Copies of this chain bind each other. A is one copy, B any other.
Amino acid sequence: MPDTSSRIDYYPTHEYQGFHLRPGHPYPFGATILSGGVNFSVFSSHATSCTLVLFDKGEPLPRVEIPFPDSFRIGNVWCMVVFDLDCESVEYGYRMDGPFEPAEGHRFDPTKILLDPYAKTVSGREIWGQDPDWQQPFPHRGRLVFEDFDWEDDRPLERPMEELVIYEMHVRSFTRHPSALVKHPGTFAGLLEKIPYLKELGINCIEMMPVYEFDEFENSRKSPTTGETLYNYWGYSTVGFFSPKAGYAATGRWGMQVDELKNVVKEIHKAGIEVILDVVFNHTAEGNEHGPTISFRGLDNKTYYMLTPEGYYFNFSGCGNTLNCNHPIVRSIVLDCLRYWAAEFHIDGFRFDLAAILGRDPWGAPLPNPPLLESLAFDPVLAKCKLIAEAWDAGGLYQVGTFPAYGRWAEWNGKYRDDVRRFVKGDPGLAGALATRLQGSPDLYGWNGRGPTASINFLTCHDGFTLLDLFSYNEKHNEKNGEENRDGANDNHSWNCGREGATEDPPVQALRRQMIKTALSILLTSRGVPMLWMGDEMGRTQEGNNNAYCLDDPTNWLDWNLTEQNRDLLRFVQLLLRHRKAHPLLRSKKHPCFHRGGFEEYPEISFHGQAPWQPDWSEESRRLACLWSGRDRQDAPAFLYFAVNAHWEGAWFALPRIPRCWHVAINTGMPAPEDIFAPGEEVLLSDQSGVFLSPRSAMFIIGK
């Protein structure tokens, strides 16, 4: 066996204060472990000099500061190999010198030690919620990682987009509640113990709210009302784009968060479930000119941020600054980052927070052909990754249906959410909108050839009411956030079913339960990609808080007791997901056809009212039925009749004739367990001519 391990490039050629060095390689950027040494590479377009600062783990003062010799710079990249480091105990940062001229966009400050934007682990917040040392001059420190995880034969699952059922969740909230009964509450490791639950639920994709390193203490403060500490709890404010949040790892204190998260991904994959990350490339944790200098501001403020002509920060994110996403350098770091997560963490896809910003040019104007979005869409490493845009931003750009897609990008379909909420609630004039949403929103994704898989259908997500609260509150109740209920959206299209908030009143409770089931039935029988919000399957409440971003308390924490208390609802959702899985007709990647495409002479989709073939599109209509027809699994003829009565009065729906017999699968007007029957156990309808839909109910009836 020829020995290729003794490479002379790893012999030092220079020395500085006892440290052996040689010129480094400019790429890959960041810190890379080589045999014998570590390659450090960092760039800045405007800095005049750079120093590598090395610490022993946790020490307040540096062990050494090594200025990059001038011959170690290639272009604007400083790169250096440092030999004989203990990769496990070293922490590193950079000092950059350069002009401090805010009006010119420059804010260099050599007194600051800067986090490497490519750091693959960050120390300083290893234990969630542990009060930081506020005097620490270098609070977020880069660390090295071994990139040698044993994936065996795992790789991203590459499920077809149309097969997905997404479950949006917050890592800490998912198992932090004592009722979770996991060994490491609120961590990746905790999630590991809940994989059987997710599998049983029937979802096949989880979307994790931000897991990139963030600082829960960013803007932390005491609630004026409750006195509890308010955190940057959700984490939509990134400190390190390449590093998993240490505080989310049971092993974070040992710096093993990378291995822990990889192991979680691998185990989740084994359960057939994909992992999508919610990524926040619209701004960083550095805020505006009053925020801390952590990394980008000190490395190259003018390159990384969108600045006004006077040198202030544009604020399209609503969070103080805006990442300059269509600067070639920023494009490149975003691409490097996503490639890293896809390749090294086997991540299946990404949901881009306020993605409309990613299509703005450096002066904020929307670009017709944004190179960043195009690059991500065509990248070979990301080729099979799901790319999902939150297609709007806080600067007023709303691109649902028009986000530059390149045949790849899907969108959180905000119009789906609003239309279905309003229809279910009983608003008039929405029968037509509902029909469009059930088809996968051809109004948004038909004309441009994108199809239903461009549409992430959802009723609820982390932003806004939980599904139970949607039917328990007319108004938001965000007092706990400490902003006098000013924060959070006001247009929730919610209805409290007669009482504001929690109640012991059985009819109200029953109605709310029924509203939930009706709404979910629509979601799971619509073409497109359904997304559930953590806990909605078990009737989770946030007590009317529709913007719980700062609360590290049971408002956010998932109370697993609900799986018992609301066992019928959980069962309903599990079976509902099985029904979706049973019927490929509901999951086609094309919009349905009105004229043909079904079994024999039936169209693929047809709409009906109380009378078959006579949908009521009038303003006052609150009732709609649709008939799906085609081939089902095993190529059998399929007839799926789905009717919703959003009216406050019950109604008789005469059924269209089919060459099969109608069987009831779902009737949300019935109490459990008659509300839903498992696939294969649907109940023959005694009167094949029609069905009675209770007020505010839905039925799913299949021909067989």
Contacts and interface: CB of A to CB of B under 8 A. Distances in A.
5 contacts: A1-B84, A9-B146, A71-B155, A74-B343, A77-B380
A159 B147 CA distance: 39
Nearest to A329: B378
Interface string A139-167: 00000001110111111100000000000
A25 interface: yes
Contact of A75 (B73, B87, B146, B382): B382
A283 interface: no
Contacts of A186: none
Interface in A8-50: 8-10, 13, 23, 25-28, 33-38, 43-45
Given A4-B35, A75-B379, A343-B74, A23 B151 contact: yes
A37 B77 CA distance: 28
Interface residues of A: mostly helix, strand, loop or mixed? loop
Contacts of A448: none
Given A2-B84, A2-B86, A27-B343, A148 B75 contact: no
A374 interface: yes
B155 A73 contact: yes
Interface residues of A, number: 67
Nearest to A25: B343
A339 interface: yes
Interface string A167-198: 00000000000000000000000000000000
A225 interface: no
A274 to B, nearest CB: 14
Interface of A: 1-2, 4-5, 7-10, 13, 23, 25-28, 33-38, 43-45, 69, 71-77, 84-87, 146-148, 150-156, 327-329, 331-332, 339, 342-344, 346, 371, 374-375, 377-385
Contacts of A33: 4, 7
Given A71-B155, A74-B342, A153-B71, A5 B328 contact: no
Contact of A26 (B38, B332, B343, B375): B343
Contacts of A8: 146, 148, 150
A481 B9 CA distance: 47
A328 B379 contact: yes
A244 to B, nearest CB: 19
B148 A7 contact: yes
A381 B77 contact: yes
A87 to B, nearest CB: 6
Given A2-B84, A75-B385, A328-B371, 15 more contacts: A2-B86, A4-B37, A5-B36, A9-B147, A13-B152, A23-B155, A25-B147, A26-B381, A27-B381, A28-B28, A74-B343, A76-B383, A328-B374, A328-B378, A332-B379
Nearest to A83: B1
A35 B74 contact: no
Nearest to A42: B380
Given A9-B148, A151-B23, A384-B75, A87 B379 contact: no
Given A26-B343, A26-B381, A71 B154 contact: yes
A76 B7 contact: no
Nearest to A1: B84
A1 B25 CA distance: 22
Contacts of A385: 75
A327 B375 CA distance: 8
Contacts of A327: 378
Contacts of A343: 25-27, 74
Instruction: Specify which of A4, A37, A383 lies most central, judged by the most chain B CB atoms within 10 Å of its CB.
Output: A4
Contacts of A344: 25
Contact of A150 (B13, B332, B339, B384): B13
A328 B375 contact: yes
A454 B258 CA distance: 48
A30 to B, nearest CB: 13
A369 B337 CA distance: 25
Instruction: Specify which of A328, A375, A378 lies most central, judged by the most chain B CB atoms within 10 Å of its CB.
Output: A328
Nearest to A8: B148
Nearest to A385: B75
